[in-house]
Amino acid sequence: MTKIQYLKDNLNVLENEIIIYGSDKFKIDLKINQRLVNQKPGQLILVSAINPTSSGEGKTTVSIGLAQGFKKLGKNVMLALREPSMGPVFGMKGGATGGGMSELEPALDINMHFNGDLHAITAANNLLSALIDNHIYFGNKLKFKTIYWQRALDCNDRSLRTVVTTQREDKFNITAASEMMAILALAKDFKDLKDRLNSILIGVDEDGKDLFVKDLECMDSLAMILKDAIKPNLVFAKEMVPALVHAGPFANIAHGCNSVIATNTALRLSDYVITEAGFGADLGMEKFLHIKQPHLIQQVGVVVLVATIKALKLHGGVDESNLDEMNIEALKKGLTNLEKHIENVKKFGLNAVVAINKFPNDLDSEIDILYEWAHQMLVPIGLSEGFMKGGDGTKELAKLVIDTLSKKSHFKPLYDNNIPHQEKITQIAKELYGANAVELSKKAINKLKQYKDFNYPVCIAKTPLSLSGNPLLKGRPSDFILEISDVKISNGAKQIVCLTKGINTMPGLNEHPRALDFKINDEGELIS
């Protein structure tokens, strides 16, 4: 009961607002936001990164460590993080609970099935598919001609990218990249969730008229499946740091942010909220600022850019298998990638702090290079040693972030939602990625014409491993063209999804997935 008492005594959460899922996992009732509607929001800190290695930059570990550092300084702080998908858990990247001394608890439960949210999203998604097919089977009263809605599954399975059912051809998305996930992540309350579900564009009829969920009259059943999943999950990181872990879109193929409900709840409960956006400032940060932030009660006050020695070497030309070897020349060369991400933060009128996620084998001489560079560039920089030391390893970084928060920022979006979609895509590609131009397929051009009256932000799906659309182009590539192969509308999520050439919304497993390495004993306990 210690954690429940902490919620009541330190976070102003009432007992009837706490929904208990065992001894260490909770959900928070949505009525808390009605009670605290006039509460002055805390300050918002967004954690982003440079383009990562295939293993990631450790943004979640840094986010948790930074929150621990804030708490060590006596600050009232909360985390607002995405919940894991089992795709990466059993694939290559792994879980999403941090690590070492900066980890969410209970890590295994959070990485696996966490309170059932992703399963509920998957079930709602596939119930809609089943209802569409059932409607067609029994006479097709709505005269469906083309169906846009696709099925979903929370695992990596490239075989499901294209399927043929007894009813029609179909495709699967991974659940994290589904519109159902985006809707849950962007809804501000349960009524908004219902409205968004009703607005899902599921296809067109024989006369070319758009067909929506409201035409199928099944919104209430979908909402019923999601009635608990929409409530944010609350757990604690080590050192008793509270964390609202809710919704889990991928930032390469979706908008990549924790839910609006969870972030707004955290902002009402604490003085500082640390949240993350997936992958780099070219992907997650941009989508956070254009797609999610308009629904928040507070704007971002500072952006923390996570970088690692390994990733900088990778962008300096070192093969991923040799990143543990000392290479000062490559390290310096790779700084061009970090410089571009800092520029991207400034393009939005925001201030940046660079956090070096320190690994045990990083050399002091390598870190000194980064401090020398930062001094010359007048860039605030600090070490994040949360993995090894918890809050004691991030206190100085926390002080640096607090100091940067005191400096005024002047947020400005990169584009207005009312301009043509192609101009939005071009703005992002040229300003944030560094592209020379954008090339759209005929299919993409036709889709953009079809959706020209939907004044939504764009959500570009591209590789996270490069600023460009080509994962092999490292550093700060230039003189490239961003190719858009297809466009989809997520009318319930209110965004236009643009797929770059070669991108898939259903990932595949790598040659030796992590699913082959887990070991569990006869008592059901994970042993490796």
Domain co-membership, 334 together with 389: yes
291 alpha-carbon distance from chain centroid: 11
- Helix runs in 316-357, H state only: 328-347
- In this structure, what CATH number is given to the domain that contains residue 245? 3.40.50.300
Tokens 């993350």: give the residue.
276
What does the alpha-carbon distance between residue 114 and residue 244 come to, in Å, rounded to a whole number?
12
Tell which of 225, 253, 285 closes a domain. 225
What does the alpha-carbon distance between residue 79 and residue 97 come to, in Å, rounded to a whole number?
12
pLDDT of residue 92: 84
Tokens 């070492």: give the residue.
100
Q: Could you tell me if residue 370 is inside a domain?
A: yes
Domain co-membership, 7 together with 107: yes
What does the alpha-carbon distance between residue 295 and residue 293 come to, in Å, rounded to a whole number?
5
Domain co-membership, 387 together with 433: no
Tell which of 200, 225, 250 closes a domain. 225
- Radius of gyration of the chain from its Cα atoms, rounded to whole angstroms: 22
Instruction: Name residues of the chain where pLDDT drops below 70.
Output: 1
User: Is 100 labelled a binding residue?
Assistant: no
Q: How far is CA 98 from CA 65, 81, 165, 390, in A?
A: 9, 10, 39, 11
User: Is 53 labelled a binding residue?
Assistant: yes
Q: Strand locations in 323-430, DSSP E?
A: 352-357, 381-384
Domain co-membership, 241 together with 179: no
What does the alpha-carbon distance between residue 116 and residue 231 come to, in Å, rounded to a whole number?
11
Residue 97 and residue 84 in contact, taking contact as beta carbons nearer than 8 Å: yes
Tokens encoding 108: 């295994």
Tokens 């450790």: give the residue.
58
Residue 258 and residue 185 in contact, taking contact as beta carbons nearer than 8 Å: yes
Q: Could you tell me if residue 380 is inside a domain?
A: yes
Domain that holds residue 429: 422-500
Domain co-membership, 235 together with 328: yes
What does the alpha-carbon distance between residue 498 and residue 458 come to, in Å, rounded to a whole number?
7
DSSP assignment, residue 422?
H
Domain co-membership, 386 together with 429: no
Domain co-membership, 345 together with 203: no
Pairing of strands 172-174, 272-276: unpaired
For 333-363, b where at least 16 C-beta lie within 10 A, e where not — what string?
A: bbbbbbebbbebbeebebbbbbbbbbeeebe
pLDDT of residue 503: 95
What does the alpha-carbon distance between residue 27 and residue 116 come to, in Å, rounded to a whole number?
11
What does the alpha-carbon distance between residue 119 and residue 139 come to, in Å, rounded to a whole number?
30
Tell which of 208, 225, 242 closes a domain. 225
Q: Could you tell me if residue 515 is inside a domain?
A: no
User: Is 58 labelled a binding residue?
Assistant: yes
Domain co-membership, 60 together with 154: no
User: Is 102 labelled a binding residue?
Assistant: no
- In this structure, what CATH number is given to the domain that contains residue 472? 3.10.410.10
User: Is 97 labelled a binding residue?
Assistant: no
Q: Could you tell me if residue 109 is inside a domain?
A: yes
pLDDT of residue 1: 56
Tokens encoding 203: 């296809």
Domain co-membership, 390 together with 437: no
Tokens 């293993």: give the residue.
55
Count of domains forming the chain: 3
pLDDT of residue 425: 98
- In this structure, what CATH number is given to the domain that contains residue 162? 3.30.1510.10
Tokens encoding 511: 């040659």
Domain co-membership, 247 together with 388: yes
Q: Could you tell me if residue 392 is inside a domain?
A: yes
Domain co-membership, 330 together with 461: no
Peptide bond into 106 cis (omega under 30): yes
DSSP assignment, residue 200?
-
What does the alpha-carbon distance between residue 211 and residue 208 come to, in Å, rounded to a whole number?
9
Q: Could you tell me if residue 524 is inside a domain?
A: no
- Dihedral pair phi/psi, residue 130, rounded to 5°: -65, -40
Q: Could you tell me if residue 395 is inside a domain?
A: yes
Q: Which residues contact 282 (CB under 8 A, 6 or more apart)?
A: 51, 341, 344, 432, 433, 467
Residue 60 and residue 96 in contact, taking contact as beta carbons nearer than 8 Å: yes
For 122-131, b where at least 16 C-beta lie within 10 A, e where not — what string?
A: bbbbbbbbeb
Closest CA relative to residue 82, chosen from 187, 178, 185, 229: 185
Domain co-membership, 75 together with 146: no
